[in-house]
Structure 1
Amino acid sequence: MSTAMVFERPALDLSPGRLPAGCPVIVRGMGPGLPGLLAELTEGRGGRFVRDHDGETVYLPGGGEPLIYLGSGRGVPYHAAIEYSLWGDGVSGPRFAAPEALPRGPAHFRRQVWPLVAKDLAYAYYRELLTAHPSRARMTWAEFERAYSAQEWGSAAMRALVRRAVPRFPDRLDLDRLDRPLAGIRFGDHAGLRRWMVGYIGADVERRADPAHSADLAVGHMARAVRDALAGTRHADPWLDGFTAFMADGPPGAWLEELRALALAGVVVFLGAGVHVRQDATGGWRAAGPTVPGAVQARALLDARGIVEKQEEHR
């Protein structure tokens, strides 16, 4: 008989006696429970973060850290928090996904409700872009708004409108790519994924600190407004809650820089998106996903999403 360790938030005992130095540990989830968990397993084991001569965050291991395999559904941490205010004409609340505009009876969220939510998110995004940064657009907000309001979300006419109004591709909103940046991307090994993640995290921190991209903040504000407007109605959906948290309730950029430093130090190994964790024949755990071939094995599973320690015995 073997015993596999499962820790769910808030973890009760992550001491070296339970998780010794170098012990492979699978951590599932990159949401709000992750920073505290990683702090206990890294700085709590004697490691520390410093700045190098270029101002980059570097992690100096203390020697007591476990080997942390980190994965989740999206495979990336929440977007960095934005600490400035909108520059343009903000939007007070949802227009297309207001409760009175939604179907009165039961509705499939992704097919019938999400297109209206997405249209509101893009409405807020382009309003901020065109009013705060008009030099990056080929039409005024008034012109864009009239045409935009008449189009269905995702239609060819709407895509053509955006191309005419916003000439630079990086200035156009891509909700699918924002939500699932690793979708369809494959790497030959974990080193390749690490290089991509280091670049992705750095770019996210830089973008979210730059008011030139204040339209991103407008998306977060609208996502919260829609979530709050739908709360308690038949159209409230857990998927929207998760999407909103990912877009608008992320950690400070400084913490994401620390996560990047942990990866560069070899303490954290990213597993990618769509990670599934299963128990193996020995009573340990195996984690695998489509981003990187193969599976990793560990004796302990830490769940950063939820926490009461449980012991599961397997014969």
Structure 2
Amino acid sequence: MSAVTVAGRPMPDLTADLTAGRPLGGLPVLVRGMGPGLAEALSPLTEGYGGRFTQNRGGEVVYLPSGAEPLIYLGSGRGVPCHAAIAYRPHCATVPEPRFAAPGALPRGPAHFRREVWPLVAKDLAFAYYRELLTAHPERARMTWAEFAPAYAAEEWGSKAARALIRNAVPRFADRLDFDRLDRPLGGIRFGDRAGLQRWTRGYLDADLTRRADPSFGADLALARALSQARDALAGTRHADPWLDGFTRFVAEGPPAARLVELRALAAAGVVMFLGANLQVRPHGREEVWRVSGSAWPGTVEVHAVLDARDIVDRQEEYR
């Protein structure tokens, strides 16, 4: 793999050093990337240094540090890990076929994805989401699905009328689908210190684990299934888009819930600290010292190693 260069200085290939057993214990380490392979990336930095997961008397998963681990800082493009996988079944057995983003409805020539293609895809995704919500939980809606569906189909996605229709039909804010909030949970949020970010991220993990285990939020599963279908339908066409692929992985292809339970335990033990999204990594003074800042908190932290979670997983596969 090619070396990463930041501000003109090549980062050392610490991924290979980690695989070869280079000691990082006691050092502050930045792990970039919080995708589905995060647990595999964290394991050699935690259990690999003698720590272990166990359960307390209340049955809660906790991490018992050895004291030899690195201090692990975590950050990614979105600043949060992928959503946990969903284990329950949806009320609606099938996913609606693309209707608004059907092949005949898409632009015929080259098109700007976010302006011309995404509104059609988003309308299909929300159609699947609200169908599940209104048919499985009519008590949480002011309209029946039979009333909502034709009115929804007639409105342009994102228009004032479409937003008003959804607010009318779905009174609870928590039940409404907000793609911007889903895609960038930390968007526009800034904390006074890193401690505030830690509390927020641990609360985000708690809420995600609770929601992904609760069948009353089956509309989330309908959305995940529709996302995978939409991504696959566009794959290989001129309308395929890297953002949609990443968004689908984030929402629909996350790790088992047990992995996020372990991440929460690592954070509670103080072994992992979250740095959020939009990290800036710059060389600082001595060789192999890096200064890290983020958009969600003031100040900087210094680290002695910068690891890419995706590279760690790839290298582990190479060495097996």
TM-score normalised to structure 2 length: 0.90
The answer to whether residue 299 in structure 2 is matched with residue 299 in structure 1 is no
> Which amino acid in 1 is paired with 2:16?
L
SS of equivalent to 2:281: strand
Question: 1:85 Cα shift?
Answer: 1.3
Match of 2:246 in 1: 242
CA contact (8 A) 2:125 2:226 kept: yes
Aligned residues of 2:72 and 2:272 also touching (Cα < 8 A): yes
1:286 corresponds to 2:291: yes
Q: Which amino acid aligns with 1:122?
A: A
Per the alignment, residue 123 of structure 1 pairs with 127
1:154 matched to which residue of 2?
158
Taking the aligned partners of 1:109 and 1:271, their CA distance within structure 2 comes to 30
> Aligned AA for 1:294?
G
Question: Of residues 265, 271, 278 in structure 2, which corresponds to 1:274?
Answer: 278
Give me the whole-angstrom Cα distance separating, in 1, the residues matched to 2:238 and 2:21: 48
Structure 1's 3 and 273: CA in aligned 2 closer, same or farther, altered over 3 A?
closer
* 1:83 is the counterpart of 2:96: no
* Residue 227 of structure 1: aligned partner: 231
Q: 1:67 aligns with which of 71, 76, 98?
A: 71
Q: CA deviation at 1:43?
A: 1.1
**1:48 equivalent in structure 2:** 52
TM-superposition CA deviations, 1:59-95 (whole Å, max 9, x none)? 1002221111100110000001001111136324321
The Cα shift of 1:114 comes to 1.0
Find 2:13's aligned residue among 6, 14, 19.
Answer: 6
Query: 1:39 maps to what in 2?
Result: 43
For residues 274-304 of structure 1, the C-alpha deviation after alignment (integer angstroms, 9 at most, x for no partner) is 1122333433222211101112221211001
CA distance in 1, matches of 2:60, 2:194: 23
Secondary structure, counterpart of 2:13 in structure 1 = strand
Q: Say what the alpha-carbon RMSD is for the aligned residues.
A: 1.8
Provide the C-alpha distance between the structure 2 equivalents of 1:146 and 1:246, rounded to a whole number of angstroms.
30
Residue 181 of structure 1 corresponds to: 185
Bigger Cα displacement from structure 2, 230-239 vs 109-118: 109-118
Percent same amino acid at aligned positions? Answer: 66
Contact 2:96 2:128 in 1 (8 A): no
- Equivalent of 2:100, from 92, 96, 108? 96
Q: Distance in 1 between matches of 2:105 and 2:280?
A: 38
Q: Contact 1:90/1:127 (CA < 8 Å) preserved in 2?
A: no
| Aligned partner of residue 262 in structure 2, secondary structure | helix
- Between the aligned partners of 2:71 and 2:130, the Cα distance in structure 1 is 43
Aligned with 1:225: secondary structure? helix
Contact 1:49 1:60 in 2 (8 A): yes
Cα displacement string for residues 23-68 of structure 1 (whole angstroms, at most 9, x for unaligned residues) = 1111101012211010111112111112222322211002221111
SS in 1 for 2:126: helix
Gaps of 5+ in 1: 310-315
Cα separation, partners in 2 of 1:221 and 1:3, compared to 1, 3 Å: closer
Which amino acid in the other structure matches residue 59 of structure 1?
Y
Structure 2 stretches lacking a partner, 5+ long: 1-8, 316-320
Q: Is the 8 A contact 1:89 1:131 kept in 2?
A: no
- Superimposed CA distance per residue, residues 155-200 of structure 1 (whole angstroms, 9 cap, x where no aligned partner): 1101111111111111111111111111111112221111111111
When structure 1 is superposed on structure 2, of 44-53 and 215-224 the one drifting more is: 44-53
Q: Is the 8 A contact 1:5 1:299 kept in 2?
A: no
Q: 1:221 and 1:17, CA in 2 relative to 1: closer, same or farther beyond 3 A?
A: closer
Bigger relative contact order (CA 8 A; separation at least 6): 1
Secondary structure of the 2:97 match is coil
* Residue identity opposite 2:296 in structure 1: T
| Cα deviation, residue 15, structure 1 | 6.4
How many Å separate the matches in 2 of 1:153 and 1:127?
Answer: 16
TM-score of the superposed pair, with normalisation by structure 1: 0.92
Quote how far apart the aligned CAs of 1:205 are.
Answer: 0.3
Q: Is the aligned partner of 1:137 residue 2:144?
A: no
